[in-house]
Amino acid sequence: MSRVSTAYLLTCAAIGVAGGILLLGANWVSTALFATVPFISVILIGLWLLPAVVGMRLLERPLAALLVGLISGLVLVPFSGYGFGSVATNLWYAAFVELPFLLVLYRFWSRWQYFAGAVVVGAVYPVLASATFDLFSFPWWGQSLFFVLTLVSSIGGVALGIAIADRLRRTGVARIARRRPPVRA
């Protein structure tokens, strides 16, 4: 693996810390919603994709989403109430951002790949969280609504992340961080 630049690592760290701060508020709101109206708490799921999408879109380098997810999870550890479970959660969401690029071995970077990851999250999360939400006790329309809310939130989080990254790129943030370091023998 080639060396990574300090600018790349610092950019991932900055995005991860900003994402962790955003997720700190989202985590508490989601926890309160889950305690009162659990079904509605899935509206916030797209926010967990946001930092990883910003990092991946801005830098277009392998493992950028996972590094941003790791850092944002570490920021949450002392504040979330879930401890190191926050790291696992953020890495889980970041993996879905990273996966479509890994499948093509990071050979191209297109917008649809981000949305493909969001669709997979929108399909997988409700199945994995069905016991937590007691999803199968809902009527068919309630289960469908749960899937739709999760999918819309995931797609919305990705769209917002792409918009933020594109605006950051226009300001010149990515110019230095995306530059690949020279390969030395």
pLDDT digit string (tens) for 47-66? Answer: 999 999 999 999 999 999 99
Mean pLDDT of 140-161: 94
Q: What is the pTM of this model?
A: 0.89
| 172 has pLDDT over 90 | no
What SS3 string covers the chain? CCCCCHHHHHHHHHHHHHHHHHHHHHHHHHHHHHHHCHHHHHHHCHHHHHHHHHHHHHHCCCCHHHHHHHHHHHHHHHHHCCCCHHHHHHHHHHHHHHHHHHHCCCCCCCHHHHHHHHHHHHHHHHHHCHHHHCHHHCCHHHHHHHHHHHHHHHHHHHHHHHHHHHHHHHHCHHHHHHCCCCCCC
Map tokens 């950019």 to a residue.
11
What is the rounded average pLDDT for all residues in the chain? 90
Which CATH number among 1.10.1760, 1.10.287, 3.30.1380, 1.20.1410 corresponds to the domain 6-178? 1.10.1760
> Would you place residue 81 in the very low, low, confident or very high pLDDT band (cuts 50, 70, 90)?
confident
| 1 has pLDDT over 80 | no
Mean pLDDT of 112-126: 95
| 184 has pLDDT over 50 | no
What confidence tens digit (pLDDT) does each residue in 2-35 have? 577 888 899 999 999 999 999 999 988 988 888 8
